[in-house]
């Protein structure tokens, strides 16, 4: 009788351990967490099918009335070239154009002269009536951001590119500020003109915007106004200071 009792207890213990072990191994591992996007590259993320596109933070648009005007009217498509522009009548300007090829390509904008667009490059051209060509970034979360890159003259035809360039941060409230102001002046094919901006830093609430803008130069001369733009914007602090409950 004593031996039978010991055997019975041992059997129960083994059964319990076995069930716990099976349950531990049967539980599936948690799915991997997808890290949030914290860096965006303007030209590499160019969208040529939808404007605006809810899946991206970018909008291709234009402003009238000055660099700090808030309204940004979306540009329309111009197939088959990946381009956003203002209508088709007359001179279709302002314009935002992207070279999807891995090599430089020549294109024609509002003048018969060819303009070479760098590989994967992005060009902005101001409008005929004072419109400012704009690429707008909308902050997906409250955080501190920074941007770096450069504007550069892309047209050496005629008098060359002469444009004013800005980076304007617009808060959800009625305020805006230019965190970068520059001027592009191409005087010859061998004399490049570059406006570099390095680590411009600002705090954004969700829905605040950063506008990269190209405006006609002195005398509102929009001729030969093609201006290239390289830009990266990144989140340098976690959303809401690392406390998502305050977002």
Q: Is 30 exposed, middle or buried (0-12, 13-18, 19+ CB in 10 A)?
A: exposed
Q: How far is residue 236's CA from residue 233's CA, in Å, rounded to a whole number? A: 9
Q: What percent of the chain has pLDDT over 70?
A: 67
pLDDT over 50 at 10, yes or no: no
CA-to-CA separations, 157 to 109, 110, 218, in angstroms, rounded: 12, 12, 17
> What is the pLDDT, as a whole number, of residue 34?
57
Q: Which pLDDT belongs to residue 149?
A: 95
Query: How much is the average pLDDT of 217-232?
Result: 86
> What pLDDT, on the 0 to 100 scale, is given for residue 166?
92
What percent of the chain has a predicted confidence (pLDDT) above 90?
Answer: 21
pLDDT: which is higher, 206 or 157: 206
pLDDT value at residue 243: 57
190: enclosing H helix or E strand? none
User: What count of other Cβ atoms lies within 10 Å of the Cβ of residue 68?
Assistant: 15
pLDDT for position 12: 44
Residue 181, C-beta contacts closer than 8 angstroms, at least 6 positions apart: 164, 165, 166
Neighbours of 202 (CB within 10 A): 17
Between CA 93 and CA 149 the distance in angstroms is 24
Q: What is the pTM of this model?
A: 0.77
pLDDT digits (tens, 9 = 90+) for 176-221: 788 888 988 887 766 778 888 888 888 999 999 999 999 988 877 7
Which pLDDT tens digit goes with each residue over 19-54?
555 555 556 777 666 556 689 999 888 887 788 888
- Provide the mean pLDDT of the chain: 76
Pick the residue with more confidence: 115 or 15?
Answer: 115
CB atoms within 10 A of CB 240: 15
CB 184 within 8 A of CB 162: yes
Q: What angle do CA 103, 105, 109 make, to 5 degrees?
A: 155
Res 14: pLDDT: 46
pLDDT for 237 equals 77
Asked: is 39-246 a CATH 2.60.120 domain? The reply is yes
Q: Copy the structure tokens of residue 125.
A: 């051209």
The predicted structure's pLDDT at residue 19:
52
CA 148 – CA 82 distance, rounded (Å): 24
Provide mean pLDDT across the span 150-177: 81
pLDDT recorded at residue 76: 76
More confident residue, 240 or 119: 119
CB 116 within 8 A of CB 104: yes
Least confident span in 96-110, 138-152, 155-169, 208-222: 96-110
pLDDT of residue 25: 57
pLDDT of residue 66: 64
Residue 239: in which H helix or E strand, if any? none
| Rounded mean pLDDT, 44-73 | 79
Domain ranges of the chain: 39-246
């Amino acid at each position: 009788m004593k031996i039978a009792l010991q055997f019975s207890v041992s059997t129960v213990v083994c059964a319990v351990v076995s069930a716990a072990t099976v349950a531990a191994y049967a539980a599936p591992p948690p799915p991997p967490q997808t890290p949030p996007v914290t860096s965006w590259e303007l030209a590499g993320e160019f969208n040529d099918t939808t404007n605006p596109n809810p899946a991206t933070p970018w909008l291709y648009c234009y402003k009238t009335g000055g660099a700090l005007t808030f309204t940004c009217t979306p540009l329309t498509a111009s197939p088959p070239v990946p381009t956003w522009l203002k209508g088709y009548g007359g001179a279709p300007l302002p314009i935002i154009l992207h070279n999807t090829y891995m090599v430089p390509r020549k294109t024609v904008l509002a003048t018969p002269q060819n303009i070479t667009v760098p590989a994967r490059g992005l060009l902005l051209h101001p409008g005929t009536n004072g419109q400012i060509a704009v690429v707008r970034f909308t902050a997906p979360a409250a955080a501190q951001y920074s941007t770096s890159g450069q504007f550069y003259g892309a047209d050496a035809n005629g008098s060359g590119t002469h444009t004013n360039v800005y980076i304007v941060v617009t808060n959800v409230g009625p305020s805006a500020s230019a965190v970068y102001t520059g001027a592009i002046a191409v005087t010859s094919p061998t004399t490049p003109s570059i406006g570099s901006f390095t680590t411009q830093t600002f705090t954004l609430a969700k829905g605040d915007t950063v506008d990269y803008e190209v405006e006609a130069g002195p005398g509102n001369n929009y001729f030969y106004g093609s201006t290239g733009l390289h830009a990266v914007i990144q989140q340098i602090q976690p959303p809401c200071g690392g406390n998502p409950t305050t977002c």
